[in-house]
Amino acid sequence: MSAHPSTLYSETVLAHNRTPRHCGCLADATHRGAAENALCGDQLDFALRVRNDRVEAAMFDGEACAIATASASMLADALHGAPIATVAAIAAELHTMFAGGAPARGDFAAFAELRHHPARQRCALLPLHAASQALAGAAA
């Protein structure tokens, strides 16, 4: 049993979905990765420009649901100027929050309600997978 959807589709999430930040093509990316949600076929690409283990620029592309799109927008925002370890850190924070633990950083806290929607958690995690695929792969 979950609360009313307005707590899942909060203004924070809806605003990121309506006007996602850093959506498009990053021409001078050093790393590119993709992830797919087998449940719905959503696919997200993440492109990063990394120097000295720090993300200088991050952009995502793809068509996905509001949860995945908002999460991608938040992630790209959070990664600008951040160390590459931030991707794994945010993923860990989301897993902790979904298990009932502390809220994740910043706007990601808006996904707290997903603890009641196990089938949708992977939507929020999709951009994290794409970004970690980018970092795991060879430089683009």
Partner 1 sequence: MNRLDDIPALRAEFPQLARRIHGKPLVYFDNANTAQKPQLVIDAVSDYYRLHNANVARAVHTLGEEATTLYEATRDKLARFVGARSREEVVFTRGTTEAVNLVAYSFLRPTLKPGDEILVSRMEHHANIVPWQLVAAETGAKVVPAPITASGELDVEGTVALMNPRTRLVGLVHVSNALGTVNPVAEIIAAAKARGIATLIDGSQAVPHFRVDVAALDCDFYVLTGHKLFAPTGTGALIARRALLDAMPPFMGGGEMIRKVSFEGTTFNDPPHKFEPGTPNIAGFIGLGAAIDWLQAIGMDAIAAREARLRDAMRAALAAVDGLRLVGDARARAAVFSFVVEGAHAHDLATLLDHDGIAVRSGHHCAHPTMQFFGVPATARASLAFYNTEDEIAVFIDALAKARRMLA
- Name the minimum Å distance from CB 119 to partner 1: 9
Residue 40 or residue 85: which is nearer to partner 1 going by CB? Answer: 40
Q: Which residues contact 36 (CB under 8 A, 6 or more apart)?
A: 42, 43, 126
Residue 29 or residue 42: which is nearer to partner 1 going by CB? Answer: 42
Polymer length in residues for the chain = 140
> Distance between CA 138 and CA 85 in Å, rounded?
16
Residue 61 or residue 84: which is nearer to partner 1 going by CB? Answer: 61
Axis-axis angle for helices 85-98, 118-136 (nearest 10) = 170
* Residues of this chain that bind partner 1 (CB under 8 A): 1-2, 4-5, 8-9, 14, 17, 39-43, 63-67, 117, 120, 123
Residue 67 or residue 75: which is nearer to partner 1 going by CB? Answer: 67
- Name the minimum Å distance from CB 130 to partner 1: 15
Q: Which residues contact 77 (CB under 8 A, 6 or more apart)?
A: 21, 22, 107
- Name the minimum Å distance from CB 45 to partner 1: 14
- Name the minimum Å distance from CB 42 to partner 1: 6
**Radius of gyration, CA atoms only, the chain:** 14
